[in-house]
Amino acid sequence: MKLAVVGGGPAGISLGWFLKGTKIESTVYEGLDDVGKKPCAWGVLRGIENYVDIPKETIYSKIRGFRIFLDNKLISEVRDEETLGYIVDKPLFLRKLGEKIDLRLNSKVVLDHGKLLVNGKPEEADKVILATGHYSLSKDVTIPALQYITDLNYDPEMVDMYFYSDLLGYGWIFPDPKGAKIGVGGYASVEFIREKMKTITSGRILTQHGARVADYGVFEDRLNGSYIGEALGTVYAVTGEGIRPSIVSSKIMADALLEDKDFGKEFRKSKLHWTLQVHASVIKRAKESNSVRGLERVLLRADPKLVVKFAMGDFGKLDLIKLFGSAIL
């Protein structure tokens, strides 16, 4: 089988990586001149090393702690001797994976009545999979997010997560080789988000950029074997984590292709699908009630380690009952 993968982000490149040397001949097409250009915090939580190689030279630091803030007040802190995740150089990480696959940059893809056109020329493919991130999603299922890179002298092993009583969304401070990545995203105007940024920004701003982020959960109508990654909705809605779940979605797709199984069925059976939809249900309930008080109560009263497990997507049903009660199940 000749497979065309459209999009050279974490989902697309990892799918090519999972399929290298198999019966499926895959080519990954990226429209830009390099990979990893979408701005994000470069955080990848633990478990990713069970799926893909993480070259040492791509790791800036290991995450060993989380601080959680509500309305800019510290409410809990978790530190661990074990590695909770990694801060990776995302472009370098994707380039390293891309070196081992058929990755074609500067390749603009158009699907015209089922025919694959790359830079206006037809290409042969038995199947096309879209790993096009938020670009294939409408604005009503994504949120705006802004991020600054500053020269703040920040602990390289710590991640700060911010939540707000007047914003359905989240903020973050992640370590960066230049200092810190500081951002906010949520259901609000860009102007409102920019004002929130002022309350947590420290250091001299070196770079600023923005992007939209999926915040809906898994799009069930896209579980047809044609989508992976953020284009499928594999972003944890409460925290915005997308790199690791996108890569896991690609592993499920690769296994389904190699074993001639139905991707939709396999994905729905996965823990990834369940945890993503739980996150999405928390956001949906908050939107319907026009209030984030339920999330506030959890942040203020729950065991901080449980909150971190929930944020990482590393939770089970008992954890959910302890956090939210049985209504969430």
What are 148-167's pLDDT values in tens digits? 999 999 999 999 999 999 99
In a domain, 325, yes or no: no
Q: What is the mean pLDDT of residues 117-134?
A: 96
Look at residue 167 in the predicted model and tell me its pLDDT.
Answer: 93
pLDDT at 89 over 80: yes
pLDDT at 244 over 60: yes
In a domain, 21, yes or no: yes
In a domain, 209, yes or no: yes
At 87, the pLDDT band (50, 70, 90 cuts) reads very high
CB 5 within 8 A of CB 28: yes
pLDDT at 326 over 70: no
Question: What burial class does residue 198 get, using C-beta atoms within 10 Å of its C-beta: 0-12 exposed, 13-18 middle, 19+ buried?
Answer: exposed
Look at residue 85 in the predicted model and tell me its pLDDT.
Answer: 94
> Any idea what DSSP says for residue 185?
E
In a domain, 131, yes or no: yes
- Helical H runs in 175-292? 190-200, 243-258, 263-269, 271-289
Domain that holds residue 198: 2-271
Q: What is the mean pLDDT of residues 181-199?
A: 97
Look at residue 274 in the predicted model and tell me its pLDDT.
Answer: 97
Look at residue 213 in the predicted model and tell me its pLDDT.
Answer: 95
In a domain, 50, yes or no: yes
pTM, two decimals, is: 0.95
CB 234 within 8 A of CB 132: no
In a domain, 51, yes or no: yes
Look at residue 329 in the predicted model and tell me its pLDDT.
Answer: 59
In a domain, 284, yes or no: no
At 217, the pLDDT band (50, 70, 90 cuts) reads very high
Which residue is associated with the tokens 């978790």? 78
pLDDT at 245 over 60: yes
The CATH number given to whatever domain includes residue 182 is: 3.50.50.60
Token code pair at residue 110: 């158009």
Domain count for the chain: 1
In a domain, 186, yes or no: yes
